[in-house]
Copies of this chain bind each other. A is one copy, B any other.
Amino acid sequence: MLNPKYGSISRATVDRLPLYFRTLRLIKSEGSDIVSSEELGRRIGVTPEQIRKDLAGFGAFGKKGVGYHVAELLNNIGVILGIDRRWNIGIVGIGHLGWALANYRNFASMGFHLSALFDQNPALVGQVINGVEVLAVSDMETTIADRNIQIGVITVPAPEAQSVADRMVAAGVHGIWNFAPVRIRVPETVQLVSEDLSVGLTTLSYHLRRQMP
């Protein structure tokens, strides 16, 4: 049972939820039905106490000396994360990164449906990637409305990112996932997640530095 009060989960817990989800999905794929807070903590890199606190916060309670039911926990977190429903996404900017994202298999398995691709390069328009045709950027507004695209993904160069975001917002997207290395601004009613690929590399260099002083 989900805790109806899960609206009050702390931001730090929310930030860990995708990691919980990913880790639990992996554990499930390995064939485990039950996982202890110790094992989950070890894999995620937080203490078992933190795991118990996080999970209790949205009403998931493990059985003492047994652990958590993996499938149930995965389902609950999926509901909280909103990946129990379908989200239509559109990618603008089919350079290498946009192309790679269009082909990323994990999205579909998490409820994200690739609905449209856009690029301004006439040589790309009409090409089909992962079953989806690349459209001209000039078709963006009507397509976002027609295909009920809720999430726009920005993989254009930095100087173009803000204007693409503005057009997406005007066309009615509710969320933007930005990969352009620039800060973009959106109205408060639109959710924005900006990605910085160097974060993973930085985490790695931190650990290497400990090891190779």
Minimum distance in angstroms from A155 CB to a CB of chain B:
8
Q: Which of B14, B96, B208 contacts A103 (CB 8 A)?
A: B96
Contacts of A206 in B (CB 8 A): 14, 17-18, 80-82
**How many residues in A have their beta carbons less than 8 Å from beta carbons of B?**
64
Q: Does A150 contact B (CB under 8 A)?
A: yes
**B204 near A105: Cβ-Cβ < 8 Å:** no
Q: Does A97 contact B (CB under 8 A)?
A: yes
Minimum distance in angstroms from A79 CB to a CB of chain B:
8
In residues 67-115 of chain A, which contact B (Cβ within 8 Å)? 80-83, 85, 87, 89, 95-97, 99-101, 103-107, 110-112
State the oligomeric state as a number of copies: 2
Per-residue contact bits, chain A 18-55, to B (CB 8 Å; 1 contact, 0 not): 11011000100000000000000000011000100000
Q: Does A183 contact B (CB under 8 A)?
A: yes
The residue in A45, A202, A210 that gathers the most chain B C-beta atoms within 10 A of its C-beta is: A202
Contacts of A12 in B (CB 8 A): 12, 46, 50
Q: Does A212 contact B (CB under 8 A)?
A: yes
Minimum distance in angstroms from A19 CB to a CB of chain B:
7
**B112 near A201: Cβ-Cβ < 8 Å:** yes
**A177 near B193: Cβ-Cβ < 8 Å:** no
Q: Which of B87, B101, B176 contacts A197 (CB 8 A)?
A: B101
Q: Which of B95, B106, B181, B195 contacts A105 (CB 8 A)?
A: B181
**A196 near B97: Cβ-Cβ < 8 Å:** no
Q: Shortest 6 CB-CB distances between A and B: which pairs? A: A82-B209, A96-B100, A97-B100, A82-B205, A18-B202, A18-B199
19 interchain pairs, CB-CB under 8 A: A7-B210, A11-B45, A14-B206, A18-B206, A22-B196, A22-B199, A26-B183, A81-B205, A82-B206, A82-B208, A104-B197, A107-B201, A112-B205, A150-B212, A174-B212, A175-B208, A193-B200, A193-B203, A193-B204
